[in-house]
Structure 1
Amino acid sequence: MRDIAMEVYEKMKVGGTAWIRPVSAKGDTVASFQQTHEKARQMADEGLISISSVKRQEDGLIESIRILRLA
């Protein structure tokens, strides 16, 4: 499985913000995207990013994550 959070992080500049979303053209689904939230939380714990918001669908699944690159 792709590490979507790390892919987005590597493309960002320090101080930049971005939305992390599943990309269906690359085989991502909302169900598989739930693991990305866990990876983003680990990155936040390491001080690499700050998670500013998490958007959820009506059924509770995460559909996008807004991050700020700190380091």
Structure 2
Amino acid sequence: MSAYWALSGYGLRASRALYWLAGTMLITVVLLMGFGLPQDTPKQRATGTVPSAGGKATFETSTSPSSTPAQAPKRK
């Protein structure tokens, strides 16, 4: 943020700040178009320590589309 502040003039020249903002947004869009977002979500993992035994417990969860709750039927 300090680099943006130094390069944009911070209030001295509003057009320079807008150009930097537009340039930053353009770079972000180009990077998202090039690399994209991940196709699938990673599995959720919960890790903890069991106090009495001192062991470590790890749980992985994943949800499939078939496990989502069904919509309630509409009343007539």
TM-score greater than 0.5 by the shorter chain: no
More strand per residue: 1
Higher relative contact order (CA 8 A, sep 6+): 1
More helix per residue: 2
Q: Look at both structures and tell me which one has the larger radius of gyration over its CA atoms.
A: 2
TM-score (norm 1): 0.30
